């Protein structure tokens, strides 16, 4: 009888682990918070690593986030004609990214300074407002691939 109860307990414990729910997909608010953090950090990278001109060269980052901080960064060039990504500088800047409070432990992949024809950022009211146009262009050039 004891053996049967112990076996039942082991089976119950192992089956509850096997059916543990996966983490839910990020909400729209989480994605918006990530986008804001990435845009701000990308602007910082443009200023520090790309001489402050334009949107920089197309690149990607993969961030490992744990405990509310970036634990590791892997940056890569996305353009064959610009193979010399200032990787050390980009890595350093993205280590300071302000991680959204709801981030938890995750891996985030994003592309920056890329063309994004499906950008949903609101157009500037005045087409001659270059400051607005530049800010919109930078925001549109940040694309989150995951989570």
User: In whole angstroms, what is the distance from residue 86 CA to residue 76 CA?
Assistant: 9
Span 39-63, pLDDT tens digits: 999 999 999 998 876 667 899 999 9
Are 140 and 114 in contact by the 8 Å Cβ rule? The answer is no
What is the C-alpha to C-alpha distance for residues 96 and 93, in angstroms, rounded to an integer? 6
Residue 64 has pLDDT above 90, yes or no: yes
For residue 90, give every residue at least 6 positions away whose Cβ sits within 8 Å of its Cβ, in sequence order, or none. 45, 49, 59, 61, 73, 75
Read off the pTM. Answer: 0.74
The token duo for 27 is 């909400």
Report, as an integer, the average pLDDT of 85-89: 92
- Name the strands in the sheet holding 143-146, side by side, starting at the edge strand that comes first in the sequence: 69-77, 59-66, 106-112, 143-146
User: Band of the pLDDT at 84, cuts 50, 70, 90?
Assistant: confident
Q: What pLDDT, in 10s, does the model give residues 117-139?
A: 888 888 888 888 888 888 888 88
Summary mean pLDDT of the chain = 78
Q: Other CB atoms closer than 10 Å to residue 60's CB: what's the count? A: 19
Say what percent of the chain tops pLDDT 90: 38
Q: What average pLDDT does range 85-99 have in this prediction?
A: 93
Taking the CA atoms of the chain, what radius of gyration do you get in angstroms? 21
Residue 3 has pLDDT above 50, yes or no: no
Alpha carbon distance 142, 137 (integer Å) = 9
> What is the model's pLDDT at position 54?
66
Q: Is the pLDDT of residue 100 over 80?
A: yes
């Amino acid at each position: 009888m004891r053996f049967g109860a112990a076996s039942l307990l082991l089976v119950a414990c192992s089956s509850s682990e096997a059916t543990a729910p996966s983490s839910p997909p990020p909400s729209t608010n989480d994605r918006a918070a990530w986008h804001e953090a990435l845009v701000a950090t990308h602007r910082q990278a443009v200023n520090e690593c790309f001489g402050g001109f334009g949107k920089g060269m197309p690149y990607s980052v993969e961030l490992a986030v744990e405990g509310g901080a970036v634990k590791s960064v892997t940056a890569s060039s996305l353009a064959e004609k610009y193979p010399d990504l200032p990787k050390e500088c980009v890595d350093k800047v993205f280590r300071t990214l302000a991680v959204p409070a709801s981030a938890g432990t995750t891996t985030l992949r994003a592309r920056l300074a890329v063309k994004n024809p499906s950008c949903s950022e609101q157009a500037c009211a005045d087409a001659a407002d270059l400051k607005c146009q530049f800010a919109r262009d930078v925001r549109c050039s940040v694309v989150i691939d995951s989570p």
